[in-house]
Amino acid sequence: MSEPPAASTPAAVPAVDPAVDPTVPAIDVVGLRKSFGAEEVLAGVDLAVGAGEVVCVIGASGSGKSTLLRCVNRLEEPTAGRIVIEGVDITDPDCDVDDVRRRIGMVFQQFNLFPHLSVLRNVTIAQEKVLGRSRAEAVDVAVRTLDRVGLAEKAGDFPARLSGGQQQRVAIARALAMDPDMMLFDEATSALDPELVGEVLAVMRTLAEEGMTMMVVTHEMGFARRVADRVVFLDGGVVCEQGPPDQVLGSPEQDRTRQFLRQVLERE
């Protein structure tokens, strides 16, 4: 069969992809409640993250930031409320959680790389086992993704030979290799020596600039100020205050926010 002449066959109209439909939030958290025993950690959180938006979540230790992120990809079962990912209610019992989770990349404080596998294998294994990609395709994606985080030359090394910052960048590459529509970061730099924080934040910043939808729990106020489209302050189990970084971090409206930011500044 001969090649069709250039531009003679218009591309099929794709089904509406909620990820690129700006009217559908990438993440919509509605009235989210989560209790552990008698302790209500989240007491009605409402928070929408638009496609391509970068939202930084700040708040005191124990305020429920990790619990919120973990509910968003159903690592934690909400007590009440709804979580809608790209238009799909993942709190609906009929929802295929695995399918939704595949669209969400998550990066934790602890990198959790497989110590007995090479960097390359750490980035290919889930592609093959979860997405069913061939070895060759997974390797191709891994090489490109490692290059994106500046670690192409480390592909053959084992994690123990890498610095913490490099290991965290491998963890980011591992998540990106799954082609997620959005990324959740839970204090991705908190376990790192201070001199290694910058290289990981730089990768996160590049991702943000490339348009990745990101929900970032962080204590790095400089990063929040420079990179976030919106900062959300979690307190008392609810969103206490939110807005553009300059407003929330520079001239907060709530006493609780001011108090929290004072404490953060004293620590620095």
> Per DSSP, what are the bridge partners of residue 184?
106, 215
Q: Find the binding residues for Mg ion in span 57-116 (CB under 5 A).
A: 66
- Among 28, 29, 54, 59, which residue sits at the site for ligand ATP (rule: CB under 6 A)? 59
Can you tell me the distance from the alpha carbon of 233 to that of 250, in angstroms, rounded to the nearest whole number?
Answer: 13
- Minimal distance, residue 65 CB to ligand ATP, in Å: 4
Strand order in the sheet with 39-49: 39-49, 27-36, 80-85, 88-89
Q: Is 73 in the site for ligand ATP (CB under 6 A)?
A: no
Binding-residue pattern over the window 160 to 199 for ligand ATP, x denoting contact by CB under 6 A:
----------------------------------------
- Among 18, 25, 64, 105, which residue sits at the site for ligand ATP (rule: CB under 6 A)? 64
Can you tell me the distance from the alpha carbon of 149 to that of 166, in angstroms, rounded to the nearest whole number?
Answer: 9
- Minimal distance, residue 201 CB to ligand ATP, in Å: 18
Select from Mg ion, ligand ATP, none the partner in contact with residue 119, using the beta carbon and a kind-dependent cut-off of 5 to 8 Å.
none
Binding-residue pattern over the window 25 to 54 for ligand ATP, x denoting contact by CB under 6 A:
-----------x----x-------------
Amino acid at position 226, single letter: R
Q: Find the binding residues for Mg ion in span 39-68 (CB under 5 A).
A: 66
Can you tell me the distance from the alpha carbon of 17 to that of 186, in angstroms, rounded to the nearest whole number?
Answer: 27
Amino acid at position 238, single letter: V
Q: Is 236 in the site for ligand ATP (CB under 6 A)?
A: no
Stretch that binds ligand ATP, among 48-56, 61-69, 82-90, 249-257 (CB under 6 A): 61-69
Q: Which residues contact 101 (CB under 8 A, 6 or more apart)?
A: 73, 74
Task: Compute, in degrees rounded to 10, the torsion defined by CA atoms 42, 44, 47, 48.
Answer: 120
Amino acid at position 151, single letter: L
Give the interface with ligand ATP as residue ranges (CB under 6 A).
36, 41, 59, 61-67
